[in-house]
Structure 1
Amino acid sequence: MPNIQTGGQVFDLAFHPTHETVYTALLTGEVKAFQYDEQGNSTLSFEAKPSKKSCRGLSLTRDGAKLWSVGKGKAIHAIDTTTGGIVESKTAAHEVPINRVKYLMPWMFATGDDDGVIKLWDPRQSECIRSHNHHFDFISDFLYLEDKKHLISSSADGTLSVLDVRSKKAEPYAQSEDQEDELLSLLPIKGGAKVVVGTQQGVLSIFNRKKGWGDCVDRVPGHPTSIDALCSIPSSYPSSINTILTGSSDGLLRVVEVLPSKLVGVIADHGDFPIERIAVDKGGEGRWVGSAGHEELLKLTDLKEVFEDESADEDEGAQSLANADSDSDDGDDSDAKSSSSTMDKNTSKPTAEASKVEAEEDDGDSSAEEDSDAEAEAPKRKRKQEKDPFSRKKKKDRNEVTVATGFFSDL
């Protein structure tokens, strides 16, 4: 597994949508860009230091030409990804440190700070377009639903909110009930029909867009610690519609299937360092997933080795099963031939001997019928099925899925 040495603790990362380049936001306030090849070998492309204080968030424009950065310095900076130069700055953009930034459309991006304030910006204007203060704790993540022009925000205050970026109202379009847990990460699943939320207690909360944003419709416990980052896998894999990557504070990068829910496996381990950001290159359709925690490096994991090897194993198993079926068919044919020859020999016996054989066969048939009657009267035992740790139980509480608490404990 290739590692990119960054020279500082990584707070955020962003991949260029078309080039083999990854950008990292560092505790030192620097923004470093690295180019990598098919083997994961990397070289430093440029480094910029827009602020002396830590850089916490990055977001690229759709074409990858401009990189927005925010951090503890309360300012917003735009970096030219070709030259590495700072082309635009908005000082004192927030009253407190900024935690997240999200590109929405060519003339709009959003920022969220430690006090829960969300601001919408037009790069052509010096002041923000609108400001929203319905959250009272830090903004942990953003998700933009382009079909409805809705910006979803998660907060440590335990609520999720939806903003219609076309509206001029200060109130949100919708806001969830208090989920009684810190909401840390957001990701669309099922083709965007549902949104999964990672929480502090290690539960994946599922919201259904058609049923509104008031409360989650499903809860999938299982992670032993907080789920700080979520990411989807490339759409080229058949299971991409319900398979996600989760980055947890226990340092493990997991592949998890949601609805039906099960752990597929662990693909990266950061040891004692928590994973706070994960992303897939080439706009989410590439082969590398980058994961960053409280280390001075960025880990790259090859998704082809994870998913394509698994597909090869499945194909090999299917071929073996087909060969076994073929062998079984040949065996049946030989048994049939043997039975046929035996019947021919029996028919050539004298009449008296044949009658004796028929009498013995009649006695055998009657005993077989008695045995079958005895089996019919005896109660049949049902084979006890193994318990699935992610199976849905019949429950009294609404919108909950009961899962074994130690599901991830051995990993």
Structure 2
Amino acid sequence: MTLDFRDMEKSTDSSDDGSDLEDSEMDEDVIASSNESEDENNDNNEDIHNSSDESEDDVVKAIRAEKNKPRDHPPTITTEDFIVDISFHPAKNLIAIANIVGDVLLYEYSNEETNLLKTLELHLKSCRDVEFDNDGLTMFTTAKDKVVMATDVETGKLKQCFENAHDDPVYKLLPLDSNKIVSGDDSGTVKLWDLRRQGALFTIKIGEEYISDMITNETQKYLVCAGGDGMLTSIDLKGSKIFSRSEHYEADLTCMGLFRSETKLLVGSSIGKFYLFNWKEFGLHSDEYIGHKHSIQCMIPITQNIVVSSGEDGILRAAHMFPQRQLGVVGQHSLPVEALDISHDGQYIASCSHDNDVKFWNISYFESIDSLIDVNHKNNKRKDMINNLPSSNIKNASDFFSGLV
């Protein structure tokens, strides 16, 4: 079943269980103490230990080094209202949190703390999407009230407001530049907007179901739309017309990401499958993988090869896509995850869940480990699915990345 916040009632209960796994069982002192205890009792395994050290390869050494580093990340943000979407600022340590009562909260974050800077009461109904433009000067939002807004990030003042932008609630926004954005609604309509004009530049009906995600590459010639009709539809932005439609998939297509210098398009689905497309060849996928046992709701590219995804089961998983193999668990929530994003410096990803919280995960280790992974080695998929990576709350240092080499 696909996660869907469109018809949820407003939540007034605060979800704060007062606990944080990062601050309890996962303390580095505990791990260090455990290591010291093992050293004191190494009379019976000294020979094995020495043999293991001699045979350690670069991947294992890199992993051990990462495990010994403190996993620095900002503390969890917990809000009073259900969180619908999050978005990192493209240049500053800011994160925008959109909620179900129509507000957007702007937080400043560091490793030590998070501070609420502004609460912007923008929409009369539940927010659906929040995005920054590439310069971080303008924040775009949309909501169930069918309004598309552009807000000045520095002052919080409204720059543009498109009332009744669609006949149906808008589900997704995508900024193209500082002035142009595209929007997709619950009934399969896509519109292109320019902040300098009042009306839409074009309107295209591509289906009957909600548009879950939209993506384009640097050239911005084609806009690819995924949604509840189980099809990918690409639009020629310059020609203002439909370019192609994919075959029909028996699942909602929920999220997308670009890889390999924007030549590969990865699409997640409500049945836990990933579909891989070559860019401009949107009619039929070139490969498919099982990514999760449950619905995939969101994904974020981490490197040219690695994706982190999550959804209904609340677990953030990393996978190497070329060729495909599971790497393990990046982090976890107790309830489904609604959205993911990556910080401007690539150091953190953030995830929001039905717990009304936003958690940060330090994923900088992927850059150093990516090139060392032997993706051609035969792997144990079942074991890799539950491996806990350095950012995870739960540590399994003894078998972390076991089987990679």
> Which of the numbers 326, 329, 332 marks the counterpart of 1:263?
326
Is this contact kept in 2: 1:74–1:94, CA < 8 A? yes
Q: Contact (CA 8 Å) 2:135, 2:178: kept in 1 or not?
A: no
Of 219, 226, 245 in structure 2, the residue corresponding to residue 147 of structure 1 is 219
Aligned AA for 1:260? P
Q: Compute the displacement of 1:254 (Å).
A: 1.0
Shift of 1:308: 7.1
Count, aligned residues: 312
Q: Give the match for residue 80 of structure 2.
A: 7
Secondary structure at the aligned position of 1:63 is classed as coil
In the aligned structure 2, how far is the partner of 1:5 from the partner of 1:80? 25
- Aligned pairs for 1:282-321 within 5 A: 282=344, 285-304=345-364, 306-307=365-366
**1:278 and 2:349 aligned:** no
1:147 positional shift:
2.1
Closer, same or farther: CA 281–168 of 1 in aligned 2, 3 Å: same
1:130-180 Cα shifts (integer Å, max 9, x gaps): 1111221000011111225211110110001111211133xx111111122
Partner of 1:228: 297
Distance in 2 separating the partners of 1:64 and 1:249: 30
Structure 1 gaps of 5+ residues are 234-239, 316-385, 391-403
Q: CA deviation at 1:269?
A: 0.6
Unaligned runs of 5+ in 2: 1-21, 23-74, 389-405
Q: 2:124 and 2:150 mapped to 1: Cα distance? A: 16
> 2:247 aligned to 156, 177, 186, which one?
177
* 1:165 has 2:224 as partner: no
Work out whether residues 223 and 407 of structure 1, in 8 Å CA contact, stay in contact via their aligned partners in 2. Answer: no
Query: Is the alpha carbon distance of 1:192 and 1:203 closer, same or farther for their aligned partners in structure 2, counting shifts above 3 Å?
Result: same
Q: In 1, Cα distance between the equivalents of 2:195 and 2:291?
A: 42
Q: Distance in 1 between matches of 2:107 and 2:318?
A: 26
Work out the CA distance in 2 between the residues paired with 1:135 and 1:389: 40
CA contact (8 A) 2:341 2:350 kept: yes
Is the 1:190–1:242 Cα contact (8 Å) retained in structure 2?
A: yes
Secondary structure class of the residue paired with 1:146: coil
- Structure 2 Cα separation of the partners of residues 308 and 17 of structure 1: 19
Equivalent residues of 1:289, 1:302 under 8 A apart: yes
Give the Cα separation in 1 of the matches to 2:296 and 2:274.
Answer: 8
Note closer, same or farther for the CA distance 1:92–1:148 as it changes in structure 2 (3 Å cut): closer
Q: Deviating runs (4+, > 6 A) in structure 1? A: none
In 2, the alpha carbon distance for the partners of 1:156 and 1:277 equals: 17
Residue 79 of structure 1 aligns to a residue in which SS?
strand
> Are residues 1:84 and 2:156 paired?
yes
Quickly say closer, same or farther: Cα 1:151–1:92, change in 2 above 3 A: same
Q: By how many angstroms is 1:215 displaced?
A: 0.7
One-letter amino acid matched to 1:73: D
Q: For 1:16, give the aligned amino acid.
A: H
1:97 aligns with 2:152: no
1: CA distance, partners of 2:269 / 2:248: 13
CA distance in 2, matches of 1:387, 1:256: 15
Shift of the alpha carbon at 1:87? Answer: 2.8
* Alignment correspondent of 2:146: 74
Q: Is the 8 A contact 1:159 1:175 kept in 2?
A: yes
Could you tell me which of 135, 159, 165 is aligned with 1:63? 135
1:302–1:409 CA distance, 2 compared to 1 (3 A): closer
Percent identity between matched residues is: 27
Give, in whole Å, the separation in 2 of the partners of 1:40 and 1:143. Answer: 34
Which protein has greater RCO, CA pairs closer than 8 Å, 6+ apart? 2
> TM-score, length-normalised on structure 1?
0.71
Give me the whole-angstrom Cα distance separating, in 1, the residues matched to 2:285 and 2:368. 35
What is the TM-score of this pair, normalised by structure 2? 0.72
Distance 2:132 2:367 in 1: 29
- Alignment of 1:106 with 2:171, yes or no, is no
Alignment partners' CA distance in 1, 2:367 and 2:238: 42
Residues 102-134 of structure 1: CA distance to partner in whole angstroms, max 9, x if unpaired?
A: 101233110111111111111111111111112
State which structure, 1 or 2, has the greater radius of gyration over its C-alpha atoms: 1
Matching residue of 2:284:
215
Deviations 1:260-292 (A, max 9, x none): 111111111111x1112101111xx42111101
2:90 is aligned with 1:31: no
The structure 2 residue matched to 1:123, chosen from 195, 198, 204, is 195
2:90 aligns with: 17
Take 1:168 and 1:204, find their aligned partners in 2: how far apart are those partners?
29
Q: Partner of 1:92: helix, strand, or coil?
A: coil
Contact 1:23 1:34 in 2 (8 A): yes
AA matched with 1:173: F
Question: Aligned to 1:307, what secondary structure does the other structure show?
Answer: helix
Give, in whole Å, the separation in 2 of the partners of 1:247 and 1:26. 19
